[in-house]
Amino acid sequence: PWTALALPALLAAGLLRRSRTATAALLIPVTAWLAVFGGRLADKSSPGGDLTVVSHNVRQENPDPHGTAQSLIASRADVLALQELSPDTAPAYEQALAATYPHHFYQGTVGLWSRYPLRDARPLPIMPWTRALRATVDTPRGPLAVYVAHLPSVRVTPAGFTVGTRDEALGRLAEDLRSERARRVVVVGDLNGSADDRSLRPLTRHMASAQSTAGEGLGFTWPARFPVVRIDQILLKGVRATSAWSLPATTSDHLPVAARISLGP
């Protein structure tokens, strides 16, 4: 969507040249941009929903885990997923969230907190160390399979973008999802890629983005001070998002993301 920044420059060039042809030609990129991104600017939310899911990369070096936890509690999430936990910060989140979320499971750098009972919670071996998990949330409307994942970062090197490690982990996560028997599935976390990233199609081909289907605006999440891309995702299968939004910044470098979900019949 940032290609829109080129449009004022093209308009200025056309006006400076006093060229009607050049100015009229601006309609082509404007039309193309609106066709691709225009629909995302509208508010696609609707009333209703059975529970609220929140996901947040809390940043490993977060200087204020207690304050971050209080901000997340204020979101009134029913199911809360965290990424980039560390041995130093995980106990702080565990303590701060205990009263609101009596059910939780965390291992490695990812964790899941819930108002409703959890079962079948286990880590997923998508990488040599634990950066993904799967659990069943027993909601009042029935079971919901929740996957929490933090895929490896995309790095920029002199040789270009390095995405191999991320894509390998993504492939393992997609394989786990293909064998998932639950009818209702939610995948949340920092996927280090936008919903438009073709590399994420093993997930997005079979799942709907809550932001794309029920959000308002582009929903960028990173970096928190001036978000330019959405790499924190809530993906759904067998359930429907009625609304989706980003939460206020914490002391992390990511914005938290939230979705209100209807579990259906």
DSSP track, 57-123: E--TT-S-HHHHHHHHHHTT-SEEEEES--TTTHHHHHHHHTTT--EEEEETTEEEEESS-EEEEEE
Which whole number is the average pLDDT over 246-255?
97
pLDDT tens digits for range 178-202: 999 999 999 999 999 999 899 999 9
Q: Which of 10-24, 31-45, 185-199 has the lowest mean pLDDT?
A: 10-24
Largest CA distance in the chain: 68
Nearest to 217 by CA among 96, 44, 71: 44
User: Given this model, what pLDDT does residue 18 score?
Assistant: 77
User: Given this model, what pLDDT does residue 72 score?
Assistant: 98
Name the pLDDT band for 27 (thresholds 50, 70, 90).
Answer: confident
Q: Under CATH, what is the fold of the domain 51-262?
A: Deoxyribonuclease I; Chain A (3.60.10)
The count of residues in the chain is 265
User: Given this model, what pLDDT does residue 222 score?
Assistant: 96
User: Given this model, what pLDDT does residue 6 score?
Assistant: 83
Q: Which of 133-137, 159-163, 214-218 has the lowest mean pLDDT?
A: 159-163
Tokens of 153: 């970062």
Q: Which of 77-86, 193-202, 252-261 has the lowest mean pLDDT?
A: 193-202
User: Given this model, what pLDDT does residue 7 score?
Assistant: 82
Mean pLDDT of the chain: 93
User: Given this model, what pLDDT does residue 70 score?
Assistant: 98
Q: What are the boundaries of each domain within the chain?
A: 2-41, 51-262
Which whole number is the average pLDDT over 205-213?
95
Which whole number is the average pLDDT over 32-52?
88
Dihedral angle, C-alpha 214, 135, 223, 62, nearest 10 °: 140
**Contact, 261 vs 210, CB < 8 A?**
yes
| Distance (Å, whole) CA 103 – CA 117 | 6
Name the pLDDT band for 251 (thresholds 50, 70, 90).
Answer: very high
Amino acid sitting at position 23:
T
| Distance (Å, whole) CA 53 – CA 260 | 6
Q: Please check the confidence at residue 37 and state whether its pLDDT lies above 90.
A: no
| Distance (Å, whole) CA 11 – CA 7 | 6
Percentage of the chain modeled with pLDDT above 90: 77
pLDDT tens digits for range 159-171: 777 888 999 999 9
